[in-house]
Amino acid sequence: MSAPGRRPAMDVVDAHAHIGRWGAFAIPDGSAESLVAMMDRCGVATACVSHLLAVGPDARAGNAALLGALEAHPGRLLGWAVFQPHDPQGPERLRDLLEVPGVIGVKLHPEVHETALDDPAYTPAFEAAAERRRPVLAHSEHGSAWADPRHFAAVSPRHPGVPLLMGHAGLFPQGLGAALDAAGRCPDLVLETCGSRMTARHLTRMVAGAGADRVAFGSDAVFLDLRTGLGRVLLADLSEEDREQVLHGTMDRLLKGIG
């Protein structure tokens, strides 16, 4: 990539994407085929996705649908298996899912589950990730009773060596400082860039504060437009080395570490 704003080569890794539908969002086409087509247009090689049905009302059915999408698009889509802390069989099901080719790690959504990220109910998910050397991606939201950056700062040290991606890096602009503070105290914490209120200026601050190797590009597609999230990184005031690190280098490192 020789200049900001140019279409990237096919090496971009989207750390935080979805397939499926969500009642409160207008998603014209939540299919895996639609997402892959947009990836082709934008130069995104790989998207790490969870199924919105799994995030929401039915983790079992949604995770099963995820596996079908991974099989249909090998290499282009990698999977986050959603752990539902209220399912008594959740730990066993998660361990089985992490054995499936293409499933790279665990997705947690404390806000939807109404369970704090540092609650013991999530401990089996972190333990399964540790056993299999897998990363964990969790929704964050500044001011939330369940997903504030302080919850990430509390739980990450309990599971050393488990990469924990802070989805949205606090979500709101006023949460970015808390996200950076948590990253400064927790070496396994990685900040992720997606969010409707994230700007190129905030992204530049994130990289300056945490280091590009602790920041991963995510779009939140199909909730949000992949083109918007990618354009934000392409046009941010970053060195080309840092831009490449955010677009794929950080996730390349995490994916290579998978056991």
For residue range 4-41, list pLDDT tens digits in order: 445 456 799 999 999 999 988 889 999 999 999 999 99
Structure-model confidence comparison of residues 115 and 196, the more confident one: 115
pLDDT > 50? residue 1? no
- Interatomic CA distance for residues 126 and 134, integer angstroms: 9
| Predicted pLDDT of residue 26 | 86
- Interatomic CA distance for residues 22 and 27, integer angstroms: 7
Please, how many CA atoms are within 13 Å of residue 97, restricted to the half-sphere of its CB? Answer: 35
Work out the average pLDDT over 212-220: 98
The predicted model scores a pTM of: 0.95
Classified as helix, coil or strand, 104 is strand
| Predicted pLDDT of residue 23 | 85
| Predicted pLDDT of residue 9 | 61
Q: What would the two tokens of residue 184 be?
A: 């400064």
| Predicted pLDDT of residue 20 | 97
* Residue 119 and residue 243 in contact, taking contact as beta carbons nearer than 8 Å: no
| Predicted pLDDT of residue 11 | 93
- Interatomic CA distance for residues 124 and 84, integer angstroms: 10
* pLDDT tens string 81-124: 999 999 999 999 999 999 999 999 999 999 999 999 999 999 99
* pLDDT tens string 235-257: 999 999 999 999 999 999 999 99
- Interatomic CA distance for residues 254 and 256, integer angstroms: 5
- Interatomic CA distance for residues 155 and 107, integer angstroms: 15
Question: To the nearest whole number, what is the mean pLDDT of the chain?
Answer: 95
Find residue 208's DSSP bridge partners: none
Q: What would the two tokens of residue 85 be?
A: 């802390």
pLDDT band per the 50, 70, 90 thresholds, residue 2 = very low
Domain 12-256 is of which CATH architecture?
Answer: Alpha-Beta Barrel (3.20)
